[in-house]
Chains A and B, each alone.
Chain A
Amino acid sequence: MRAVITGITGQDGSYLTDLLLAKGYEVHGIVRRSSTLQRPRLDQQVHDQSIYGKRLFLHYSDLTDTTSLRRILNRIVPDEFYHLAGQSHVGLSFEIPESTCELTAMGTLRILEILRDLSPSPRFLHASSREIFGTPICSPQNEDTPLNPNSPYGAAKAFANQLVKIYRDSLGLFGCNAICYNHESPRRAENFVTRKISIAAASIKLGLQKELVLGNIDSSRDWGCAPEFVEAMWLMLQQPTPKDYILATGKTHSVREFLELAFQHVGLDWKKYYRHDPRFQRPVEPENLRGDASRASIELGWKPKTSLAQLAAMMVDHDLSRLEQSMLEK
């Protein structure tokens, strides 16, 4: 089986790569060209000569670059296409709304257009987001909840989400939206709050950092574990018919709770190190974000198992060992 992944260098992309390689797939990743070769999440696989160039291949392209995308896809002829790439930071989308739209909204349309002409057409997974519900009209949210985005990121994802549906219903593409609630891991980018916290807990414990500055710690989210989410994405493409699925734990927790768990794990009292900075607050804070993943549970047999405490522990332990190792190397 052959799969293409956009956003392969990101958190989900790297876990999906692990999963698909383990299942014996040939994996092709799309990467942006940069003069730095930093792809830390893929380091192990890329440097493994039994994998890279044999079952894992990386290709230069960009979500705005249709001609090279088309050429690459015509050459590879994948069975499955996982579209995970985009400008993925909600807060930042208020500062770079045009780029966010170009990449996340238009980029998805471009890909759908290319896939439409491919024969045979691959099964297509779009990483959608609970941000499409914005401040939701009801709680919990399911696949039929109306869209109501309140960020440029949410608006872009909503556009992409709608298009996938249209290409599925009107043009016969096997396309699915994975409407993902927040999902974290040790590979989460450092400017997302859970990872910012786990790094801070580990750094403060090791005396490398003095304080942690955050925005609104009472804001709450439905936080899952990324490796479990990518497994659901794969399951979605193995079904007989294409559908949209909410992927979520169904439980919400506040940033405060995550702070407590992370700092407790290293025996510290978070209140001694936390400082508030209004700069990190969102212009509009989404509320009542809780996903109802019963369709995924019933039809895919998918059940997220990692509790918030386990997630916090996993992330803090990873950052502790990483920081300890780099201290040794100095």
Chain B
Amino acid sequence: MGKSALITGITGQDGSYLAELLLEKGYLVHGLVRRSSSFSTGRIDHLYKDIHENPGLLLHYGDLTDGQALSNLVLNLEPDEIYNLGAQSHVRVSFDQPVYTLMTDGVGALNVLEAARILNQKKPVRVYQASSSEMYGAVLETPQKESTPFNPQSPYACAKVYAFFQTVNYRRSYNLFACNGILFNHESPRRGETFVTRKITRAATRIKLGLQKKLFLGNLDAKRDWGYAKDYVEAMWLMLQHHQPEDFVIATGNTYSIREFLQMVFSKLDLEWQEFVEIDPRYFRPAEVELLLGDPSKAKNSLGWTSKTSLDQLATIMVEHDLELAKREKHNQSFQQ
């Protein structure tokens, strides 16, 4: 009997890479999807198309805020593993939707833990909680590791801190195999377009093909530890195969400014970024996190996991993908005229 997993947030970047990983490993994968009259499954459509050869992927409607429906689903499916990746995941947006962000990212995580706790009484289940480097906020030590105290600077970060501590609490109180992956920023060609790295690669490639003139950004001096999402979902899986539940920092151990990423991306396209970038204060955070730099040594020593992709390689991967997208867009434009 193969293993089964439930992924919340399966339509997101990480969810789609994780679904691929688990399907390759022969899992039966269940995904939770919010109902909408527009389809949101763009990132997993390619997995779903092969449904007759790949019956291993099943999607279910639900919402992290609907605890009852979630519990019913978990008790019916009895997954061996639950990966709670679903969330309102944009830090800047959380300042505009603080209550919604808490209900989804905080209470939603609690709903998942509750459902798992009850299933666990009948059949063992392992839970992965998507925690975030944003919890370190205005960092109290550098680099940040598992023992670094949190200092959240946004409603998003506060909600994630809540979810982190609930996960630890359920592990200790109920003997539930529940762990936190404290992932630093992780990008890919599937990254949402309102996240800065993707915003940059999309803009730069469109500018290259004459489809866009300018790129508006916020604070160029903020520094982040950026990895490749595809490498990072493997860490999630490793954490749930570990002999005991623990929390791990997942990061590259390097930090770069947005300015440096801009330079990398635009130079791959033979462009000078300064000619095309303008600052728009709308993108500034009310409270900024100036620097994030993770120390992933525990993950390396205990799980044998390291990040395999440098920022420069990541930039190349994203630029290549978005250049193709821009070319298709340009081709379609001329086609429609």
Interface residues of A (CB under 8 A from B): 9-11, 32-41, 60-62, 64-68, 71, 87-89, 92, 95-96, 98-99, 102, 189-190, 325, 329
Contacts and interface: CB of A to CB of B under 8 A. Distances in A.
Nearest to A34: B40
Contact of B39 (A95, A96, A190): A190
Contact of B103 (A41, A64, A99, A325): A64
Interface string B82-110: 00000011100100111110010000000
Contact of B38 (A40, A60, A61, A62): A40
A65 B43 contact: no
A208 B65 CA distance: 38
A32 B195 CA distance: 16
A96 B63 CA distance: 9
Interface string B101-142: 001000000000000000000000000000000000000000
Interface of B: 11-13, 34-40, 42-43, 61-63, 65-66, 68-69, 88-90, 93, 96-100, 103, 192-195, 328, 331-332, 335
A9 B99 CA distance: 22
Contacts of B36: 9, 32
B65 A92 contact: no
Contacts of B193: 37
Contact of B37 (A11, A35, A71): A11
A111 to B, nearest CB: 15
A96 B42 CA distance: 23
A38 B35 contact: no
What is the predominant secondary structure among interface residues of chain B facing chain A?
A: loop
B192 A37 contact: yes
B38 A189 contact: yes
A50 to B, nearest CB: 14
Contacts of A66: 99
A36 B37 contact: no
B97 A68 contact: yes
What is the predominant secondary structure among interface residues of chain A facing chain B?
A: loop
Contacts of B99: 65-68
A40 B65 CA distance: 26
A95 B38 contact: no
A329 B328 contact: yes
B106 to A, nearest CB: 14
A40 B41 CA distance: 13
A280 to B, nearest CB: 15
Given A36-B11, A98-B68, A67 B98 contact: yes
7 contacts: A10-B38, A92-B35, A96-B61, A96-B63, A98-B69, A99-B69, A329-B331
A329 B63 CA distance: 35
A233 B302 CA distance: 62
A59 to B, nearest CB: 8
Given A36-B192, A38-B39, A96 B88 contact: no
Given A35-B13, A38-B42, A98-B69, A87 B35 contact: yes
A67 B98 CA distance: 8
B238 to A, nearest CB: 24
What are the 4 tightest A-B residue pairs by CB atom distance, in nearest-first order?
A35-B192, A65-B100, A189-B37, A99-B66
Contacts of A38: 38-40, 42
B14 to A, nearest CB: 9
Contact of A64 (B61, B69, B89, B100): B100
B203 to A, nearest CB: 14
Given A33-B88, A34-B40, A37-B192, A96 B35 contact: yes
A68 B35 contact: no
Contact of B12 (A32, A35, A89): A35
Contacts of A68: 96-100
Contact of B96 (A60, A99, A189): A60
A1 to B, nearest CB: 25
Contacts of B35: 87, 89, 92, 96, 99
A96 B66 contact: yes
